[in-house]
Structure 1
Amino acid sequence: MTMSQRRTRPTHRGRRFDLRATAVFFGLLATALIAVGFAVRALAPVVQRRPVWVVVLLCVVVATLLAHGRRRRRLSAARIARRAGEALEQATTTALDALDAPAPAPVPVPVPARTYDDGVPAPEETYDYDVLDPDEFEAAIADLCVRDGCARVEVVGGAGDLGADVTALTPDGRRLVVQCKRYGDDNKVGSQDLQRFGGTCFTVHEADVALVVTTSDFTAPAVEYAEQCGIVCVNRDALLAWSGGRTPKPWAAGAYEA
């Protein structure tokens, strides 16, 4: 007796894991992500400068994707055209709104700090001279010269300066030599200070205008010597008036009476 053999259905084995294919897939995915990153980075300046173009481009891309999706679902050509027209109309409206928007306020540009000709930064123009040390006082006087139009302003005070703390050229081209005396109220500039300065300001420094500026005052003999030598004395009150712009510049003819 012959028995019929039962036909068995072949079993489908699952797809085997392919390490090489998986590695290639992730490599391509990483490459695509890097390319997208570079594209976004390159388009960032364009987005900042031309946001309207970006909006229009995005709308066109969205319309294209919608058309492609609808085509895959076998939508009619008329419907696709209508959708694209609606997207384009919306993009146009958005672009017009962006053009009507007010322009952004200009970003204020900071004004660079002033410097002397020797590269030293010029300090601010308002000072409390009582809290300045001698070096800061010299820098403050140099800044007043810069403010009032002097050229080639240099702070040269220090060891071996032979009495010259600040040198400059006045607006009319004369050589200005300044000695700065940061003294207290009870310490006046005496005649010996003026004599030492008078011995170098004209012969050594070749000054056309010699100036002694102090936060204190001058003794009577010092004033008398200054009158004889043609040195301009600027005491505390005259300095505050000069700093506040309430008096002629000390190198102007007859600006101060010694």
Structure 2
Amino acid sequence: MSGEDFEDALKYTLQRKGWKLSTTKKTGDFGADLIGHDPKGRKVVIQAKRWNSKVGVDGVNQVIAAKAYYRADHAMLVTNQYLTNAAFELAKRTGVEVWSRKRLNAEIEANIPSKSNK
């Protein structure tokens, strides 16, 4: 799965939960891959990282910058991996919501249409 496919799958998963999202442009996105509103009406920016290794502080910094740039109420970092300890600490201190591998898998599983609905 490419990075763009990962973003699309995340967008699909969140939209099934009532989120209203759009994809930002591929370059010059100011640190956000998805932008929109969650079911509570908060403006949210999301940085999606489909990586082969842990996400470091730079990933968190990108979404912190995106939150400021887009004047969002909330920032999320979603990855198929985990965060380094420093990145996790920065996210925690700055209020960035993190969905790492375990949480992401749970969200995807919860939103797969059941076979009985086909």
Q: Report the TM-score, using the length of structure 2 for normalisation.
A: 0.87
Match of 1:197 among 46, 56, 63: 63
1:157–1:181 distance in 2 versus 1, CA, 3 Å: farther
Structure 2: gaps of 5 or more residues: 112-118
Structure in which a larger fraction of residues adopt strand: 2
Q: Distance in 1 between matches of 2:33 and 2:62?
A: 13
**Paired residue secondary structure (1:216):** coil
**1:183: Cα distance to partner?**
0.6
Letter in 2 for 1:154: S
| Aligned counterpart, 1:165 | 33
Q: In the alignment, is the contact (CA less than 8 A) between 2:91 and 2:98 conserved in 1?
A: yes
CA displacement, residues 41-96 of structure 1 (integer Å, 9 cap, x when unaligned): xxxxxxxxxxxxxxxxxxxxxxxxxxxxxxxxxxxxxxxxxxxxxxxxxxxxxxxx
Aligned positions of 1:69-80 closer than 5 A: none
Structure in which a larger fraction of residues adopt helix: 1
Match of 2:12 among 127, 136, 143: 143
Which of these two proteins has the greater Rg computed from alpha carbons? 1
**Paired residue secondary structure (1:217):** coil
Q: In the alignment, is the contact (CA less than 8 A) between 2:46 and 2:63 conserved in 1?
A: no
Aligned positions of 1:1-258 closer than 5 A: 132-151=1-20, 153-184=21-52, 187-198=53-64, 200-245=65-110
**Paired residue secondary structure (1:176):** strand
1:216–1:157 distance in 2 versus 1, CA, 3 Å: farther
CA displacement, residues 141-180 of structure 1 (integer Å, 9 cap, x when unaligned): 11111100012x1011411001110112111211111100
Runs (4+) off by over 4 Å: none
Q: Report the TM-score, using the length of structure 1 for normalisation.
A: 0.41
Structure 1: gaps of 5 or more residues: 1-131, 247-258
**1:192: Cα distance to partner?**
2.2
Q: In the alignment, is the contact (CA less than 8 A) between 2:63 and 2:76 conserved in 1?
A: no
Q: In the alignment, is the contact (CA less than 8 A) between 1:226 and 1:232 conserved in 2?
A: yes
Cα RMSD after superposing both structures: 1.4
